Structure 1
Amino acid sequence: MTSSNSLRIGVDVGGTNTDAVLLNPFATASENRGILSWHKSPTTPNPSQGIETVITTLITNANIDAKDIASVTIGTTHFINAVIEKDRSRLAPVAVLRLCGPFSRSVPPGVDWTSDLRSIICAYCGFLDGGLEIDGQIIRDIREDQVKEECEKVKTAGVKSIVVNGIFSPADVMGEMQEERVKEWILKYYPEAEVVISKEVANLGFIERENAAILNASILAFARHTIASFQTAIHHGLGLSCPIFLTQNDGTVLRAADATRLPIRTFNSGATNSMCGAAFLIKQNTDISQESILVIDIGGTSTDVGMLLPSGLPRQAAAVTEFAGVRMNFSCPDVKSIGLGGGSIVRLSQDSTEQRVTIGPDSVGHNIITRALVFGGDIHTTTDYSVVSQALRSFLYQPIGDKDLAMAAVETATRQHDLSVDSLIDEYEAVVRKMLEGIIDRMKTSAEDVPVLLVGGGAVIVSEDKEGKLSITGASKVIKPKFSGVANAIGAAIARVSGTVDRVVSTEGKSTQAVLEEVSKVAIDRAVENGALRETVRIAEIDSIPIQYVANKMRILIKAIGDFDFSRVPVAVQEELLKHSTATDGPDYTKNPLANEEKTTALSAAEISSYMPKVIASSRPYQYEWIISEMDLEWLSCGCYILGTGGGGTPYPHFIRLREMMRNGAQVRVVEPGWLKDDDVVACGGAKGSPTVSVEKLSGDEMMESQTTVYNYLGIKPAAVMDLEIGGGNGLQGLILGASTNMNIPTIDGDWMGRAYPVAWQITPVVWGGDKAQFVPSAISDGNGNNMLMVTGTTEKMVERAFRAALSEMGSHVACAKGPTTGAKVKSWAVENTISLSWRIGRAVALCRARNDIDFVSKAIIDQVGGEQAAKVLFKGKIIGVERRTVKGHVYGEVIIKAADVSGSGSEATDAVEGEVMKIPFKNENIVATRVTKDGKEEIVATVPDLICVCDASNGEGIGTPEYRYGLLVFVLGIQASEKWTVSPRGIEIGGPGAFGMDHVEYKPLGKFTKPRSVIDEFKP
């Protein structure tokens, strides 16, 4: 029995098959879970035809009246495929207008894309006044005359798609509304333009948000054409009068009209649909419905694996994700994929000493119905071997094609390889199990076996045993629920509606709880505005991050989710889109991939191992210079963030800026401290302020302005430059300054910390040179025309306090030029060869990735920092709690990690015991690592000045304290600090636990320091 106008249709258009279900949401407790009919058919070149076909079949098989259908929800990879395939016919050129004032000019749009994709899409960039500081103050007022001028340039270039991206625009919700006003001006002077404002597309993170907005603008016309064709098929071809939705990356839905504005939000919805559909299918299984479950979705080409949380939502990946090599800040499920599917090609090797059966990663895909053996083809696929397996063992045989055709071909293959059919099938099944067991092990959060759900059309390749049971090592139980083959379509049919808020808010005069409740109401209202039924809306995700160096400010991220309110969506709204964009308008969207596509394959393990950095003889007698390449720079950036011990901010914006400088001819030179003469003048520079600012307000010329302020005042020029700290983004500032055309000097292989510290007086010159100010005059600059020079000071601590007081009034982020020092002091006090160390750590991580050996990345890092005497794995597990608060501009807090068996451990001797936790308090950087046993006993295993590095277990990357979040799998490394900190009591006083108010904690060396080997020394000619 169905309720009038209550039935839902879900469609998932995959690369191999188009799946569809017809579901009655009021009958989900019934034996058939409310599923009235389902259908699976090969995906057609024109997806609209395939959608029309599967929906017709659903309605016919269920024998229902079309007027009872309340909605059609579609999940499709159609739009992301246009980007992946770099298809000129489906990607429009885009102009970007940045509201940035003097900032971001050294990092043009698309700077981190492949050159071929950038050449298709990134057509023009204009830099305009505008933008906001983190506290809401205006960087520059927007100007209508500038917008008018830029519109003429864009129009002349023949570009219609325009992105408006303003600094801190997502936080501009009630005030200036700069992006919205500029959009109005653009449409005033260029009515034909299609304008995308960045704040509607993504969240804080200037580069990633702009990337997402550009891709969104590029596919607007194609998306409108495609969605209109969906509507034509459904409303006119099938005569349905219901609304149409598309599924988003986070498992919620967009109305078709909204999806034409924001098609990018549908890019990665397939995997989410499968997991949400799987959750629906086992909802009544009380044995496992309240625990985390691993969902294995086997399609025609690949297997996607994700973790389904007890909430029914997928575990989320990191804040920054990549699509087609483009970084974007979307909420996406944490999914790993392997090349195993129903159409994967099976090959037999002649070499009997190795594994004879290999599977994939290539697949016949949607051509399986003509290429697979069971369908009369000539390609051996996993489907064929599974059919033979089930036929031989005579259990639960699922008829697929003609088993006799597959059996004959397999028998021929066995004769050629001197095998029996049974032994060949045994080997095939062992390979399938090994591939699945490997991906299960990578996705688990503990050593315990986990329940596994098998879904997807390709799930038939996992054979039952002779008792008809499914078993895989690492799985406590394996369940293949009824209707598992169309879980993705079920997920689309039941998808809900979300409202998301990511903003910086004031906490002045309010408690944190009051602020969270206030923003939660906004998220709920936004979900209702997007179409949710208010009484069903719940808060699904919440995070609060205090902002460093900004008084009474906090970044709040909240997501609310609810069921769709179908009573509020009149058909007229849906038909409105068809009036403006029909299935026949627009250009010819025949595929036209880039003729000379750039191949962007990562270096192989052999290429990384054999790589030789360029070291040449310098102009000084018997000395050498290391000329940094792009590869060197990439490894350096990775190493810097690990050495940042949670602080210093991500090096990524500085990495792409320096890489762009190098591509434009700048030469980056590194020399050893011994290269210096005793009386050489050495400069030093770095950034002060909140990492949140640095990821949103890209650098202007403030770093060079601060240096110019100092050296113009002194009337001298430095011979070299050195980093203030190697950890985080500041680890690249010395390289940027040295490569600048204004300075053009080498960078010293060393720094004043050997890590990152919260304040600039926690440096080795203060340890060894006494309390007096070591670097005066010093200067700070905000890049917006404000410069401050401090000519004299009593101590480095006093200089720091003065600059910190000015910091909040200068945008909470400034460049600092430390006054000059001498070559003699550098050689005596610097922590040496830290650029070399960063390079070695980054290379080790890259090598592990290339070998697909992330499980041992921590051991590889340990080998580079001096071996087991100098470093160790302190813990590994899952982050289960993060507390943060701001005190005098610094973020204090604590992260709690629960023991779990995760990738990246590398040393079984230090494995954490189930039930143990590690607590790490931090002040910007990690301070102390305390291991807590199951019975509550605490043991301090590492403290500053030794390095406590929290790394992402999935890729070996360092993680900053602002990025700590629940559910992230990590390992914790302890690295012995330089003797420049540890051999004197003053070093422990300035850089040890007591400097952070932990006088009760005694510093005990973690190991024995090993001086890093210089890259120049190893590779000099």
Structure 2
Amino acid sequence: MAHFYRIGVDVGGTNTDAVLLDALAPRQSADRGVLALHKTPTTGPDVTDGIEAAVRRVLTDSGVPAEAVACLTIGTTHFVNALVEHDARRLSRVAIVRLSRSFTREVPPFSDFPPALRRLIDGGCCQYVDGGLHIDGAQEAPVREDQVVAACAEIRARGLSAVVVAGVFAPIDDRFRQEQQVRDWILRELPGADVVCSADVSQLGFLERENASILNASILRFARRTIRGFRAAMARLCLRCPLYLTQNDGTLIDAATAARLPIRTFSSGPTNSMRGAAYLGLSDRESTATLVVDIGGTTADVGVLLPSGFPRQANAYVTVAGVNINFAMPHIESIGLGGGSIVRVVDQPDGSPVKVTVGPDSVGYHIITKGTVFGGDVLTATDIAVAAAEIAKSADKSESGSEAEIIGNPALVRHLDPAVVAAVQARIQAMLEAVLDKMKTSPAPLPVLLVGGGSVVAPIAASLSGVSRVVCPPFHAVANAVGAAIAKVAGTVDAIQSTADRTTDQLLDQAKATAIERAIRLGAHPESVYIADVDVIPLQYVENQVRVIVRAVGELSLQGVQAMAKEEVEEVEEVEEDDEQEKNGSASGKAGAEHHQQAVPEPDPLTYRPTISRNPKSGVQEWIVSETDVKWIADGCYVLGCAGGGTPFSDALRIRDQLRAGYRSRIIDVASLHDDDVIYWGGHMGSPAVSNERMANDETEQAVAELKAHLGHEKIDAFIDLEIGGANGLQALTLGSTKYENCPAVDADFMGRAYPTYWQTTLSAYEDDALVPCAIASGDGITILMTRTNGDEIVDRALRASCAQMGSRVGMAARPTTKSIVQRCAVLNTFSLAWRLGRAIARAAATNTTSTVAEQMINECGGPGAAKLLFRGKIVAVDRRLHMGHSYGEIRIEQVRAADVESSEPEETEIAPVATGGFLTIPFKNENLYALHTAEDGSQTYLATVPDLISVIDSQSGRALGVPEFRYGVIVTVIGIVCSPRWTESPKGLAIGGPAAFGYDIPYKPLGTYVEPRSVISEYGEAE
């Protein structure tokens, strides 16, 4: 075969680009196989006109007959734009069917959707039916046909035709296929319905998987209509070849699958740009990580191509249209730098250096009328590029950009002050260096590929720090369309498997063989297939269970194209009937829209005051918790979790919904307790993977009920948290609400942080046998009582062994305590501290001072004497492993460059880090254990150790990172907080909570002097 012609199209918001490529042409040839290219404006909501015009032009310009084209591949952001733009014409309302007999009811669907988007697509119909699995693959309950039939009747009554089926642990259900069985029953009862099974969309993490499935279901009709439009355009062009779309990872998806799973294409645009840049600018022999900068009219998108040739993926959880999902997306950082970025000259005193700003605002597509070089009155980055070229030319410098010389009318910018031009170019260079260094995971210089229509603004002749070379390849303006044209075929395995009877290597070998087989079956040439990605992730607190991820990729073969063409000929679509259904579906589900709870407007964090009222019966001042308080406390709990304790996210949603339903949660100071009060305490135990599937549930309430029955208690007077760190920090607010025990939560806990085991409490440091009697409950009807022990440590070990047999997650309630014990043992005012830390995060976001949020947190903890800014840097290595059910590992953080800090000007609140230069190592066992600084001369210093708190803060968002969020390249600030004297005043406290408890022979040295947090009640309540 002499030629293998492929057409690639990228549909952007402004332009539609097309290229016709000879895929068999030598990659090193001058034209890279690109025979024709064209750029045309994208034509409004119906993008097919732009596609047709661009494809027709490249066919004409190349002289290649339509019948010789092997395939057409389209990359588009059209589907995700429907969600981002909240376009009701393109979105359908969605019903939900959840499969679980006992779980998921406390956090309903759409809980974390932005209100405006929820109003558009929430059909107001969530049906709960039996089903669901445990983490070991056993059924929680079998699905029941009668329940599904009843659910369908309700969906039909509400006029809904888009349905999501979401089962607990559905991604590991390869035996019972519960979701698929329910889907078949729904299609029988509701012919023509769009049914999306969550396991087809994403992996573990119930709410995020369900969210992704909802987004997918909402745009299904629009996606089918769009893809039919693509095919109609192909028919008018006499193209008989298969139609593909590109996925988020840069590989191909056939049109029929894309019509079922359009979410897989959401982020294909940036991926195509990176893949196309590599094809155009790198040789076949280069196999190194490469930075790609795609500069458009408003923003510059920066990504990393791995040696595999595919983009580095983002975090496990990403956000689309404000919705958290756990779908694979490329890791992209965007800055406000583009061809239309507005340049401003800041007035300076005479003799001072010129100071300028670039962006983030932009004239966008108005540059051809507003840009100075086009006769407008706005100074843009493009004008500076043209002016720089003119200055270089007048100085007879060969580095001048040839493209800049022919943009607009250069004479219109020759008056610009060379000092201003130089200052702007220096600012652009600094912006690029900062984002490039942020994306790197090591200090070694990497090559940069520069593409995009706005790439002319980059001063590529300058020496970029940390960059080995800058390549602006031929056809760089249409790199995205080239990336679509060269997309490969992928076969993927993503499954949880047992290592009980097979080694990890054996599991990997089988997964690799399966992934290769799938890639070939999807059309890859067998000889071209290789393994691109391999990952093995142990599941915390679960023995012999690992998640295995393998992806094999290969070049699309002629045989694969021909097989796809045959399938497309055989595919029959009922266009008229479906169009009529879409017309009806555009207004469907209106009956379900009235149920939405009214969201409370976000208050001003600078003026907000919590509500403190005096209980008319007890006379005690109570903190009446609001939605704002819950959000701030949850954010603060994650800081105090020291990277462990699990995310409080779903628990916060649960409490928020309880408040919206009219229930109340309240907090009291320890001094308000009575001597004879019965005070219960406890929390969750088990695997975060199970918590993420079952979400916030009532296991702890069930354990409390079991213990109350055993002890004969009719009621409890108060509830105190086991630990303030992580998700357990919200248990007292949940259990004490008027929905459950109707008792106040105590502003205190028994850790002041998070620890991995139940015996590592201040209670155990001062009391013997503090845990028994205790009860655990699985949430699905199983409870266990433990009444005697010879030590607290064995209690935790025994309960954890039982927990593994009860689904790897339980709620626990331990021996009730008294006011005198709480006063003597507990860490006081920890709800208040969590609230203040969360408020600091909110205030920093509201005042654009997130760059100094760590300093603000330190001040909330009592100032530099009670907390320290340990280090600023970038995570450059993450090591995770599992042993005896606990997550072990460490992270390495290297010194951050000044350019990475958004605020280059010192702030009044800025506190100097304890250590600078070199790198910081933080090992963890669920929680961070110590911070070891290695200076540039090799000397080492322990900056902090347990029981002092060590928290890693995301410098960009200001929020804490947990162990699951640790990843390469994140810019972080590490803070240390002095622990309560409850840990240090007792030798037993240090023995169970200090370095020795984790096997480290490190002497504990206090970080500073503890300052007891000020009670919110005493500050905002009535003076006593």
* Structure 1 residue 1003, shift from structure 2 partner: 2.8
| Aligned positions of 1:519-534 closer than 5 A | 519-534=511-526
Deviation at 1:66, TM superposition (A): 2.9
1:144-163 pair list within 5 angstroms: 144-163=145-164
Change (3 A) 1:538 1:673: farther
Are the equivalent residues in 2 in contact too, given 1:875–1:973 (CA < 8 A)?
Answer: no
Q: Does residue 1:268 correspond to 2:267, yes or no?
A: yes
2:131 corresponds in structure 1 to: 130
| C-alpha distance 439-161 of structure 1, shift in aligned 2 (>3 A) | same
**Contact 2:875–2:967 at 8 Å: present in 1 too?**
no
CA distance in 2, matches of 1:373, 1:113: 42
Q: Secondary structure at the match of 1:482?
A: coil
Q: Shift in Å at residue 637 of structure 1?
A: 1.7
Q: Of 301, 325, 346, which aligns to 2:322? A: 325
Q: What is the aligned counterpart of 1:403 among 402, 408, 415?
A: 408
Residue 759 of structure 1: which of 751, 757, 760 is its match? 757
1:792-811 to 2 correspondence within 5 Å?
A: 792-811=788-807
Matches within 5 A, 1:620-699: 624-699=621-696
Find the counterpart in structure 1 of residue 12 from structure 2: 14
Q: 1:897 is matched by which residue type in structure 2?
A: R
SS of the residue corresponding to residue 684 of structure 2 reads: strand
The residue that corresponds to 1:704 in the other structure is 701
SS of the counterpart of 2:606?
A: helix
Equivalents in 2 of 1:898, 1:12: separation in Å?
38
Shift of 1:929: 4.0
In the superposition, relative to structure 1, how do residues 882 and 75 fare at CA in structure 2: closer, same or farther (>3 Å)? same
Report deviation, 1:847. Answer: 3.7
**How far 1:758 moved relative to its partner?**
1.7
Corresponding residue of 1:417: none
Match of 1:746 in 2: 744
Q: Give the CA RMSD over aligned residues.
A: 3.6
Percent identical pairs in the alignment equals 43
Q: Deviations over 1:818-862 (max 9, x none)?
A: 232111211111111222222222233334444555444433333
- The alpha-carbon deviation at position 159 of structure 1 amounts to 0.8
Question: Which letter does structure 2 place at the counterpart of 1:1016?
Answer: I
Q: Please show how residues 268-347 of structure 1 align to structure 2 within 5 Å.
A: 268-284=267-283, 289-344=286-341
- Could you tell me how far 1:1017 is from its partner in structure 2? 3.1
Distance 1:970 1:521, change over 3 A: farther
* Aligned-partner SS, 2:875: strand
Contact 1:72 1:242 in 2 (8 A): yes
Say if 1:981 and 1:953 are closer, same or farther in 2 by CA, change over 3 A: same
- Indicate the SS of the match to 1:695: helix
Q: Distance in 2 between matches of 1:112 and 1:335?
A: 23
* C-alpha contact (below 8 Å) 2:836/2:860 kept by paired residues: yes
Alignment of 1:897-916 (within 5 A): 897=892, 899-901=894-896, 909-910=913-914, 913-914=917-918, 916=919
After superposition, the Cα gap between the structure-2 partners of 1:153 and 1:591, relative to the gap in structure 1 and judged at 3 Å, is closer
Aligned partner letter, 1:66? A
**Please, which of 526, 530, 544 is the counterpart of residue 536 of structure 2?**
544
Q: Structure 1 residues 216, 621: CA separation in 2 closer, same or farther (over 3 Å shift)?
A: closer
In the superposition, relative to structure 1, how do residues 232 and 302 fare at CA in structure 2: closer, same or farther (>3 Å)?
same
Q: Distance in 1 between matches of 2:521 and 2:845?
A: 44
| 1: CA distance, partners of 2:342 / 2:972 | 35
Aligned counterpart for 2:874 among listed residues 874, 877, 902 = 877
2:62 pairs with 1:62:
yes
The match for 2:73 is 73
Deviations 1:415-474 (A, max 9, x none): xxxxx665665565455445445544544446676543321111123356xxxx245566
Tell me, yes or no, if the aligned pair for 2:751 and 2:827 is still in contact at 8 Å.
yes
List aligned pairs for 1:1002-1017, cutoff 5 A.
1002-1017=1003-1018
Shift of 1:525: 3.2
- Tell me the secondary structure at the aligned position of residue 332 of structure 1: coil
Q: CA deviation at 1:285?
A: 9.4
Secondary structure, aligned partner of 1:648: coil
SS of residue in 2 equivalent to 1:104: coil
Which amino acid letter does the alignment assign opposite residue 272 of structure 1?
Answer: T
**Partner residue of 1:117?**
117
- In structure 2, the CA distance between the partners of 1:505 and 1:712, relative to structure 1 (3 Å rule), is same
Residue identity matched to 1:190: L
SS of equivalent to 2:245: strand
Distance 1:1006 1:939 in 2: 13
Q: Say whether the 8 Å CA contact 2:281–2:474 is kept in structure 1.
A: no
Cα displacement string for residues 681-715 of structure 1 (whole angstroms, at most 9, x for unaligned residues): 21212001111100011244322222222224423
| 1:790 Cα offset (Å) | 3.2
Deviations 1:652-707 (A, max 9, x none): 11111111111112222222222222222212120011111000112443222222
Aligned with residue 781 of structure 2, among 763, 782, 785: 785
Q: Deviations over 1:242-262 (max 9, x none)?
A: 222111112222111110010
* Closer, same or farther: CA 161–591 of 1 in aligned 2, 3 Å: closer
Aligned to 1:846: 842
Match of 2:37 in 1: 38
Cα deviation 1:63-94 (Å, max 9, x = unaligned): 22333322222111100111011111100111
Partner of 2:983: 981
**Is the CA contact (8 Å cut-off) linking 1:315 and 1:967 kept in structure 2?**
no
Question: Structure 1, residues 710-731: CA drift from partner, whole Å, max 9, x if none?
Answer: 2244233222211101111111
Change (3 A) 1:57 1:557: same
In the TM superposition, what is the alpha-carbon distance from 1:108 to its structure 2 partner?
Answer: 1.2
Whether the aligned pair in 2 keeps the contact of 1:499 and 1:523 (CA below 8 Å) is yes
2:816 counterpart (814, 817, 820)? 820
Match of 2:551 in 1: 559
Q: Does residue 891 of structure 2 align to residue 893 of structure 1?
A: no
TM-score with structure 1 setting the length? 0.89
Query: 1:969-995: per-residue Cα shift (whole Å, max 9, x none)?
Result: 545443332110112211111112332
Q: Which runs of 5+ in 2 are unaligned?
A: 394-399, 903-909
**What do residues 211-253 of structure 1 show as CA deviations (whole Å, max 9, x unaligned)?**
000110111110011011112212x121122222111112222
1: distance between equivalents of 2:349 and 2:107? 54
Structure 2 distance, partners of 1:63, 1:671, is 80
Find out whether 1:237 has 2:236 as its counterpart.
yes
**Partner secondary structure for residue 493 of structure 2:** strand
The normalised TM-score by structure 2 is 0.89
The answer on whether the counterparts of 1:445 and 1:900 sit within 8 Å (CA) in structure 2 is no
Distance 1:598 1:139 in 2: 31
**Which has the larger displacement, 147-156 or 838-847?**
838-847
Structure 1 residues 385 and 901, CA gap change in structure 2 (3 angstroms): closer
**Is the 8 Å Cα contact of residues 36 and 62 (structure 2) preserved in structure 1?**
yes
* Aligned amino acid, residue 71 of structure 2: S
Contact 1:615/1:1016, CA 8 A, preserved across alignment: yes
Q: CA offset at residue 171 of structure 1?
A: 0.8
Query: Which residue in 1 is equivalent to 2:500?
Result: 508
- Residue 180 (structure 1) aligned with residue 180 (structure 2): yes
Q: 1:728 to 1:28 in 2, by over 3 A?
A: same
C-alpha contact 1:873 1:910 (8 A) present in aligned 2: yes
Q: 1:536 to 1:47 in 2, by over 3 A?
A: same
For residue 865 of structure 1, what is the aligned residue in structure 2?
Answer: 861
CA contact (8 A) 2:440 2:969 kept: no
Alpha-carbon distance in structure 2 between the residues aligned to 1:461 and 1:547? 47
Matched residues in 2 for 1:556 and 1:258: separation?
24
CA distance in 2, matches of 1:563, 1:155: 45
